Structure 1
Amino acid sequence: MKPSVLFFCPTFSSGGVEKVLINLANYFCERGYNTSFLVCRQIGPLETHLNKGVIIHSLNKRVGKCFFESLKFFRRESPSVVICGPQVINILTVVILKFILRRRTKVILTHHSFYDFDVKKMIVWKKFYKSSLRSFYKHSDVVIAVSQAVKDHLVNDIPIPEHKIQVIYNPVIESNFRDLKAEKTSHKWLTGDRDFKVIVCVGRLSRVKNPDALVRLMPDLVKMIDCRLILIGDGEQHQFLKDLVSDLKMAKYIDIHGAVSNPLKYISRSDLVIIPSISETFSMVGVESIAAGIPVLSTPTRGVREVLENCEGCFFESIENREAFMLMICQLLTSNRIPVNERFAETFSVNSIGKIYEDLVIRD
C-alpha cells in the first residue's frame, strides 16, 4: 500500500515554495498516492493549479498564530510523510511531529533561501534564525536544498550536518506547460502588433527581489529604446513601487500587474525576462522563461548562475553596473534573434524531479 503524503505551506500565494509543493502534490496524486495539502490560510491564486484529487485542509490562521491549530490537526491526522516549507513551517512541523507528538511520520523539509534581507528585517526571527535551523532541522528525516548553493549555505553558515541534506532542483515544467504558455492574455501591451519591446519581471515585490532597481532604470532606459516593463507579483513593496512609478512619471511605461495564477502567458509573449534580485537560490522564473524560448537577463546571483550559467539564452550582468546593465538590455532587445536552448529546461520537469522525491518517500 502506498504511503499517504501531506504537503504543508502557508498559503497558495504565487511564490516559489508554494509552486514547488503544488507541482509535487500533483505528481503524487496522479500516481495514486493518498495526497493532501495543508495551508495556514486558503488564499492565493495558485490553488487553481492543484489537482482536484488533492484534499485541501486549512487552519484558517496566519502563520504566526497557527501553532495550536496545527497541533490539533496533526493529533487528528496521521500522514505517512510530510513534505513542507519554508523555514517557519519546517520548524513548526518538526516541533509538533517529532517533539510533541513523537510520531514516526517521515518529515521532508524543503529549504529555498539564504539568510537574506527578508530575514534580517525581522527583529525577533533574525536573532534565532541560525540556532533554530541548527536545532530543529537535524531532527527531520531529510532536508532538501533546492541548489548546491543552498546546501553550501546550510552546511557552512548554519551549520547543519551534510549527511542530512540532499540537493534536488525544483520541479518547474508541468505536463501542461504548452497549454499554460499558449493561454490568452488581455494585457494591452501583449495583444496584437506593437512597435515597442516588452520586458517582464516576475517575483515577490520585496527588497531581496530588488524590483525597485529595475523601476529606477526605466526613465533612462526608455530614452535609449522604446520599451515597457510589466512587474508580476505581490508583496510588501507593492504600494512603495506604485508610488515610485508615480514619482518617476513612468505610469505610461511600467505596469505593476500584481499576482497572477499563470505568469507564463505573460513571459511567453514578452521580449525579455529580467531577474534583478540581490539573492536567488534557484529561479523557477528563469527556467520557465528559457523553456518558453524567451531570453533571460539576470544579476549574477549564486542560485541562478548555478542553474542557468551554461544555458544558451541566459545572460548575466550586475544591475549595480547601471550603464552596463542598460546597454545589455538594449542589445538583447534589438537583436533580431537570440538563440535560446528550450530543451535545457527538460531537466527540471515535474515528472523527472517528482520521481526523485518519490524515491525518498518510499525509501525505508
Structure 2
Amino acid sequence: MRILQALPALYSGGVERGTVEFAADLVKRGHESFVVSKGGPMAEQLRGQGSKHIFMPIHRKSPASFGQILPMRKLLLELKPDIIHVRSRMPAWIIFLALKSIPRHERPAVVSTFHGMYSVTPYSAIMTRADHIIAVSQCVRDYVMNNYPVPEEKLTVIQRGVDVDAFHQRELPQQWLDRWFRQYPQLAGKKIIMMPGRISRWKGQLDFLAMMAKLVKARPDCHGIIVGGAEPGKEHFLDELEKERSRLGLTENVSFLGQRNDMTNLYLLSDVVCHMSTKPEPFGRTVTEALASGTPVVAYNRGGAAETLQACFRDGLVTPDNVEEFAQAVLRMLDTEPPAIEIPYRFRLEAQTEASLKVYEMVLKSAASRS
C-alpha cells in the first residue's frame, strides 16, 4: 500500500515519535510510506528509515492554513495514496477540504487517529469524518463514543506500540555512563527517581516535587530528575517549578535535565519512573517505554496510563492526586524486588502496525465494494 500520514510537525512529542516509528515499520513490511508536515528535527530520521517527507505548513490553527488546500489537492493527485492517515485536526481539515474537489472515485480512503480527548467542538468533529477512526486507548474510545454520533463499528482501539527491543537492553554503555557522571556528579551512588514529560502544569511536575519532599525524608539517597523541555510560552512554569524546588529545600535533591535524546539509557538508569498527570492522559507513552526497559513505574490510577499499568504492572497504581500514597509506593519499589513486568503483545510496535494495516485493508475493501 501507499500510505500518507499527516500531522502538524515532527518535533519530539509522542505523536511525532509514534508516527516516525510506525512509518519505519511500514517500510520494513514493503509498503510505501509518506509523511506530510511542517517538518522538524525528526524529519531526517524519517527519511533515513526509508520514508519520504513532504514539507507543507499545515500546523497553524488559523485561517491562514486554508491556503494549503490547493497545494494539498495537487499533492494528493500526484501521490495517489491508497490511505491517508490524519493524526491531528488542522491537517484533517485541510485534507478533507482538498478531497472535496477530487472526483469521489479518485479519492483515497481516510483513517483518523484520536491521539487525545480533544475539546468537543465542530473543529474537533472533523476527525470523525474519516472512513474509520482509531482511538489510542479505551478511555479515548469512550470519550469519542460519549461525545460524537459515531457508530461502534467505525471505531477501533489500537494502543500505541513500543519497539520493545529498542528499550530492553540490560547494559548501559560505559562511555555514556562516564559522560553522564561527569555532567551530573551529584547523582553518583543515588537512587534515581525520574519524571519524564514536557514541562506543562497538567503533566504533574508540582506533584512530583511535593512527592520528592516526602521521599527524601525517608530516603536521603534519592535524587529526582525531571526530564523534558519547556514548550514556547511555558517558560514561566519552569521558573515556578524552580522556585517551588527551592521552597521545598530540594535544590540538592532534584535536577532539571531539559529535553534529552538519550531516553533509552535514562529509563535503564532510573530506579523508578513516575507518571503524575493531573488529568486523564490519552495513553502515556513513557509508561510503556519505562516498563519495556524493565524499570518499575508508579502512576496515578487514571486515563490511558492506568490502562497500561493495569495490563503490565498493577503494583504501580496509586490513588489519583494522593502524593503521600505515591511516595509510599516509590519507597516500596526501592525496598523490595518488584514482580516481573509483562508487556502484552498489543502494546508492541509490531502489534500496532498489524492492527493498523487490518484497518487500512478493511476500509479499502469497503470502498471497493461501494464503487
Which TM-score band (shorter chain)? 0.7 to 0.9
- Give the CA deviation at 1:266: 0.6
Structure 1 vs Structure 2 CA RMSD: 2.8
The match for 2:261 is 261
**Take 1:16 and 1:108, find their aligned partners in 2: how far apart are those partners?**
19
The equivalences for 1:1-364 within 5 A come to 3-40=1-38, 42-44=39-41, 47-48=44-45, 51-60=48-57, 62-64=59-61, 65-69=64-68, 71-77=70-76, 78-97=80-99, 99-101=100-102, 104-115=107-118, 129-134=120-125, 136-173=126-163, 176-178=166-168, 182=172, 184=176, 186-188=179-181, 194-226=188-220, 227-234=222-229, 235=231, 236-249=233-246, 250-277=250-277, 278-312=279-313, 314-318=315-319, 320-335=321-336, 337-341=337-341, 343-363=342-362, 364=365
**Take 1:181 and 1:81, find their aligned partners in 2: how far apart are those partners?**
40
**Residue deviations 1:80-118, cap 9 Å, x none?**
211121333334333333x34455111111112124xxx
Q: Which range moved further: 272-281 or 241-250?
A: 241-250
**SS of the counterpart of 1:332?**
helix
- Give the CA deviation at 1:192: 11
Q: Which range moved further: 325-334 or 45-54?
A: 45-54
Quickly say closer, same or farther: Cα 1:43–1:255, change in 2 above 3 A.
farther
**Residue deviations 1:256-293, cap 9 Å, x none?**
22223342211111000100012212222111111111
Stretches of structure 1 that go unaligned for 5 or more consecutive residues are 116-125
**SS of the counterpart of 2:150?**
coil
The match for 1:120 is none
**SS of the counterpart of 2:201?**
coil
**SS of the counterpart of 1:208?**
helix
**Take 1:181 and 1:156, find their aligned partners in 2: how far apart are those partners?**
46
Identity rate, percent: 22
Q: Report how many aligned residue pairs link the two structures.
A: 345
Quickly say closer, same or farther: Cα 1:198–1:261, change in 2 above 3 A.
same
**Rg larger in 1 or in 2?**
2
- Contact 2:9–2:59 (CA under 8 A) maintained in structure 1: no
Stretches of structure 2 that go unaligned for 5 or more consecutive residues are 366-371
- Contact 1:199–1:270 (CA under 8 A) maintained in structure 2: yes
**4+ aligned runs moved over 6 Å, structure 1:** 189-193
**Take 1:46 and 1:287, find their aligned partners in 2: how far apart are those partners?**
24
Quickly say closer, same or farther: Cα 1:67–1:182, change in 2 above 3 A.
farther
- Contact 1:138–1:164 (CA under 8 A) maintained in structure 2: no
- Give the CA deviation at 1:334: 2.8
Amino acid aligned to 2:114: H
The TM-score with structure 2 as length reference comes to 0.82
**Residue deviations 1:299-354, cap 9 Å, x none?**
1113122222142364112352222222222222233x21232x425432222221
Amino acid aligned to 1:112: H
- Contact 1:295–1:313 (CA under 8 A) maintained in structure 2: no
Quickly say closer, same or farther: Cα 1:58–1:262, change in 2 above 3 A.
farther
- Contact 2:112–2:130 (CA under 8 A) maintained in structure 1: yes
**SS of the counterpart of 1:344?**
coil
**Take 1:114 and 1:181, find their aligned partners in 2: how far apart are those partners?**
38
**Take 1:314 and 1:84, find their aligned partners in 2: how far apart are those partners?**
36
